[in-house]
Amino acid sequence: MNTEIFGVALMFLLTVLLAIPLGRYMGKVYSGHKTWLDGLLNPLDKLFFKAGGIKPEKEMNWKQHLVALLTINFVWFLFSMLVLMMQGSLPLNPDANPSMTADLAFNTSVSFISNTNLQHYSGESGVSYLGQLILMLFQFISAAAGMAACVVVFTAMKEKTTDKLGNFYNFFIKSLTRILLPISIVVAVILAFNGTPMTFKGKDQFISMQGDTVNVSRGPAAAMVAIKQLGTNGGGFFGANSAHPLENPSYFTNIIEDVCIILIPIAMIFTLGYIIRRKRFAWMVFGIMTIGFLLFVIPSIYLEMKGNPAITQMGIAQNLGSMEGKEVRFGSAASAYWGITTTVTSNGSVNAMHDSFTPLTGMFCLLGMMVNSFYGGVGVGFLNFYIFIIIAVFISGLMVGRTPEFMGKKIEAKEMKIAAIIALLHPFLILVGTALASYLFSHNPTAYASWLNNPGNHGFSEMLYEYTSSSANNGSGFEGLGDNTQWWNISCGIIMLLARFLPIIGPVAIAGILANKKYVPETAGTLKTDTGTFGIMIFAVIFIIAALSFFPALSLGPIAEYFGLHQ
């Protein structure tokens, strides 16, 4: 087999092999079962609980969970605004980076609490080390908040009638101390030993062969890189993210970092199987997500390795594939693979410029974010998937002549209303955002000329990508876009906020309402939800909703570009 493809296959296999035991471990953590880290970490948890005045055994209903979630996030949002707007005069700023403007600080704060980590600034010159540390803290917090919300839904899916769904702070702190922190430490150490800097010193200097003095930015990068990969955050230390040679030095670190992108999202599925004690259901979910993922990955790798037809026409050989915007140390296959893993999971870290992918690979990246639930972000990926399950259950229940029920709970008008709104939200934000930007640009092209480096179809893709990335809480960008302007900072900020919290509130509310309903035992007439047939149904629902909502937009962007290239 081709070494490049072998490397990619190995990465995926390794991820799944690690995710299965990790998922089980996470299930034990959330269920309060014994794990081998208990002895070491129980005192730490107790300290947090005591300091926060939290009673972990006090169970909450779904509304209390949401209040807890929103409160945590709001407090941290205010704190972040404060630090970023004053970082110029705060300590830990050896490179004397300036304070952020209000709109940029708003965008950045929202971006980090919403687990998006869309960066309209460049890390080296835009944030102080204190700012970086705060942002790193947020990468933990936002990931843990998403995971905790997801565990609330898992708890609600158990077969019983209850409004007691565990304690949010307990799930939240356990996500931090038992899962994110230990794995991050391991990953950070590996990265640090492989060349990623971990220091509080300012810029380093060296004199190049030509005799010029070159300043090299550095800082506490290894720690931040670990959590940005693990928590599907994607907010890099350096502007170039994981394409930067200090952030991702070698093919080996690339494997580690790429595994980390989808490790917890996949493990979360097995956690579901453990908590609700339905392994078959978990494998069905995993199967559907994997099929969707592979449908994006395989053609993308193929297209990137095949190269750009326009360059082939010029008579230039492309043995390495399309290498524009890619790092030679990773190659085209691993770059394409990263491109898809980072978009399907709402991670958003990049090791190649997505702007330079061939048109259809760009479309698959967009689709990954439009679906946003083939694995998806930590915790929130499954929450998005949950909405599709509810819709699929409803339609297929009708198709077999039975009032739809999921996990023994009947799905009625109220749940459908919430599901419809949440399913609608993502296309709404993306399409309306892009439409407004298109309108502004097309009616005043000179005033907004700085927005787009490439007009035409590609420019359209850039705008579409920016909003898709914001709405998917992904954070990667089609870098041709001049995005640090008030319009982009504020519009993307609003979209990130809505797209983060409504899709958490919706599924938690549905799960909470369902948990409160009477449990209907399974009979021979009940539609089993852990079968391949039902899996196909979910897949069809996802495909239809994504295809129907985004088909016209995609055909004006990447599809038109593709046909233009292949004429």
Partner 1 sequence: MSTTSNKLFESKLVKEALKQSFSKLNPRIMFRNPVMFTVEIGTAVMLGVCIWILCGETKQGSLIYNLIVTGVLFITLLFANFAEAIAEARGKAQADSLRKTREETPAKWIQSVGEMFVNEIKIVSSSQLKKGDVFLCETGDTIPMDGEIIEGIATIDESAITGESAPVIRESGGDKSSVTGGTKVLSDHIKVKVTTEPGESFLDKMIALVEGASRQKTPNEIALTILLAGFTLVFIIVCVTLKPFGDYAKTPITIAAFISLFVCLIPTTIGGLLSAIGIAGMDRALRANVITKSGKAVETAGDLDTLLLDKTGTITIGNRKATHFYPANGIDEKNFTEACVLSSLADETPEGKSIIELANLNKNSFNVDGARFIEFTAETRSSGIDMKGGIRIRKGAFDSIRNIVAKAGNPFPEETAEQVKVISSMGGTPLVVSRNEAVLGVIELQDIIKPGIQERFERLRKMGVKTVMVTGDNPLTAKFIAEKAGVDDFIAEAKPEDKMNYIKQEQQGGKLVAMMGDGTNDAPALAQADVGVAMNSGTAAAKEAGNMVDLDNDPTKLIEIVEIGKQLLMTRGTLTTFSIANDVAKYFAIVPALFIASMPSLQGMNIMHLHSPESAILSAVIFNAIIIPLLIPLALRGVAYKPIGASALLRRNLLIYGLGGVIIPFIGIKLIDMLVSIWF
Query: Between 11 and 389, whose beta carbon lies closer to partner 1?
Result: 389
| 213 part of the interface to partner 1, by CB under 8 A | no
Phi, psi (degrees; rounded to nearest 5) at 198: -145, 85
Spell out, one character per residue from 372 to 391, where the chain touches partner 1: x when CB under 8 A holds, - when not.
-------------------x
Query: Between 66 and 554, whose beta carbon lies closer to partner 1?
Result: 554
Beta bridge partners of 206: 214
| 163 part of the interface to partner 1, by CB under 8 A | no
User: In the bound complex, what is the minimum distance in angstroms from residue 102's beta carbon to partner 1?
Assistant: 28
| 393 part of the interface to partner 1, by CB under 8 A | no
Query: Between 328 and 524, whose beta carbon lies closer to partner 1?
Result: 524
| 394 part of the interface to partner 1, by CB under 8 A | yes
| 447 part of the interface to partner 1, by CB under 8 A | no
Interface residue with partner 1, options 360, 380, 508, 559 (CB under 8 A): 559
| 481 part of the interface to partner 1, by CB under 8 A | no
| 35 part of the interface to partner 1, by CB under 8 A | no
Interface residue with partner 1, options 396, 470, 474, 489 (CB under 8 A): 396
Q: In the range 497-556, which residues lie near partner 1 by CB under 8 A? A: 518-521, 523-528, 531, 533-534, 536-537, 540, 544-545, 547-549, 551-553, 555-556
Number of residues that bind partner 1 (CB under 8 A): 68
| 434 part of the interface to partner 1, by CB under 8 A | yes
- Among 380, 372, 288, 290, CA closest to 545: 372
Q: Which token pair is 91?
A: 């300590």
Q: Which token pair is 158?
A: 């158990």
Phi, psi (degrees; rounded to nearest 5) at 362: -60, -40
Q: Which token pair is 5?
A: 């493809």
User: Which listed range, 95-103, 129-137, 319-327, 558-566, lies at the site for partner 1 (CB under 8 A)?
Assistant: 558-566
Beta bridge partners of 216: 204
Instruction: Answer left, alpha or beta for residue 96, where phi above 0 means left and psi between -120 and 50 means alpha.
Output: left
| 95 part of the interface to partner 1, by CB under 8 A | no
Residue type, 531: T
Terminal alpha carbon distance of the chain: 32
Interface residue with partner 1, options 377, 397, 503, 507 (CB under 8 A): 397
User: In the bound complex, what is the minimum distance in angstroms from residue 428's beta carbon to partner 1?
Assistant: 5
Query: Between 367 and 423, whose beta carbon lies closer to partner 1?
Result: 423
| 24 part of the interface to partner 1, by CB under 8 A | no
Residues across the chain: 567
User: In the bound complex, what is the minimum distance in angstroms from residue 530's beta carbon to partner 1?
Assistant: 10
Query: Between 17 and 399, whose beta carbon lies closer to partner 1?
Result: 399
- Sort strands 213-216 and 409-410 into parallel, antiparallel or unpaired: unpaired
User: In the bound complex, what is the minimum distance in angstroms from residue 7's beta carbon to partner 1?
Assistant: 33
Interface residue with partner 1, options 192, 432, 494, 498 (CB under 8 A): 432
DSSP per-residue string spanning 22-72: HHHHHHHHHHT---TTHHHHHHHHHHHHHHHT--TT----HHHHHHHHHHH
Query: Between 21 and 532, whose beta carbon lies closer to partner 1?
Result: 532
Instruction: Answer left, alpha or beta for residue 157, where phi above 0 means left and psi between -120 and 50 means alpha.
Output: alpha
Interface residue with partner 1, options 259, 423, 492, 497 (CB under 8 A): 423
Interface residue with partner 1, options 85, 86, 90, 395 (CB under 8 A): 395
Interface residue with partner 1, options 427, 482, 485, 494 (CB under 8 A): 427
| 460 part of the interface to partner 1, by CB under 8 A | yes
Cα–Cα distance list, 146 to 207, 264, 506 (Å): 46, 12, 13
Q: Which token pair is 23?
A: 């998922």
| 428 part of the interface to partner 1, by CB under 8 A | yes
CB-CB contact of 452 with 96 (8 Å): no
| 130 part of the interface to partner 1, by CB under 8 A | no
| Core vs surface per residue 384-394: b (16+ CB within 10 A) or e | bbbbbbbbbbb
Cα separation, 88 vs 130, whole angstroms: 10
User: Which listed range, 213-221, 270-278, 284-292, 396-404, lies at the site for partner 1 (CB under 8 A)?
Assistant: 396-404
- Among 155, 166, 145, 174, CA closest to 73: 145
CB-CB contact of 415 with 513 (8 Å): yes
DSSP per-residue string spanning 112-124: HHTT----SS-HH
HEC-encoded secondary structure of 274-300: HHHCCHHHHHHHHHHHHHHHHHHHHHH
Cα separation, 85 vs 557, whole angstroms: 36
| 471 part of the interface to partner 1, by CB under 8 A | no
Interface residue with partner 1, options 402, 485, 487, 498 (CB under 8 A): 402
Binding site for partner 1 (CB under 8 A): 391, 394-403, 408, 411-413, 415-417, 420-421, 423-424, 427-428, 431-432, 434-436, 438-439, 441-443, 457, 460, 518-521, 523-528, 531, 533-534, 536-537, 540, 544-545, 547-549, 551-553, 555-556, 559-560, 563-564, 566-567
